[in-house]
Structure 1
């Protein structure tokens, strides 16, 4: 069986869940019933690093909320699929659109809704505060919890294993 490190070398597409991965999974409501989401800026910069390195990104999420759409747009993620509980067909679609095989795609999730895609992805990634069944399925688990830099950590892992991290770092550290 391939290690997470070996799997990471071939990844060309990173697909992310939102709640519990890009956010802390909390649902915050204001007095007017508006939903609020908390995103980590380090994850955002990690996404920009990935894009600069040529890694394609996509988001497939079960909820359809304006704050998420706004953040995805700000980050320039082209493949966004909100409001979908059956993520497998969308994973197949985004792989096709990105021109990669499922083995060349990583998926980062945290809950049962992500299990089908995690079984199919070449590299199944998770956060340490995921459901136990999801952690068991994961090839790689971040040290940081969802919404607290886990996506940045996952991107750094991929870029390091592909030998692209140092060049991106040098660009930012000028």
Structure 2
């Protein structure tokens, strides 16, 4: 089985998608204003992708190393209930998410970009990376986006999973008649 076939087979089993934030949901930039407050840039297509994943029955969760009011607000806007901020040791939280949703690690996809994501990538059924991830992270991934983090990589990852599960076309048909 080729890597692509293996990734498709793994994507068919996915019930939970876990995302990193900085460099995945954002472009990784930290924008400081004069008062020292940080803002972050999110891609609206990623947001719709998350809503599509949820509509298709996937659980979307976020584990991030940094705490940010902007991220918390965006995650809540997207209806993501499994949000864990300020954690660089991600495997215990990943296991907690699996336990809460009654899934095995083999039913989890994880999208990351940097060394802090190595543990989860090694543990899940479908390790995924953004194309601008660190080389070690790309090497661990069964699937790599064609666009960088913060620029639609999450949407691309969700399209891949939903297409493998034969759900993308059904969702598209629903959206065409809205």
Shorter-chain TM-score: which interval?
Answer: over 0.9
Q: Which runs of 5+ in 1 are unaligned?
A: none
Structure 2 CA distance for aligned equivalents of residues 98 and 37 of structure 1: 29
Deviation at 1:98, TM superposition (A): 1.3
- Aligned counterpart, 2:70: 67
**CA deviation string 1:109-150 (max 9, x = no partner):** 000000000000100000010000000000000101000000
Structure 2 CA distance for aligned equivalents of residues 142 and 95 of structure 1: 24
Q: Normalising by the residue count of structure 2, what TM-score does the alignment of the two structures yield?
A: 0.96
Q: Does 1:98 align with 2:92?
A: no
RMSD: 0.8
Q: Which runs of 5+ in 2 are unaligned?
A: none
Match of 1:137 among 132, 137, 140: 140
- Aligned counterpart, 1:76: 79
Structure 1 CA distance for aligned equivalents of residues 118 and 91 of structure 2: 9
Q: Secondary structure at the match of 1:125?
A: strand
Q: Does 1:157 align with 2:160?
A: yes
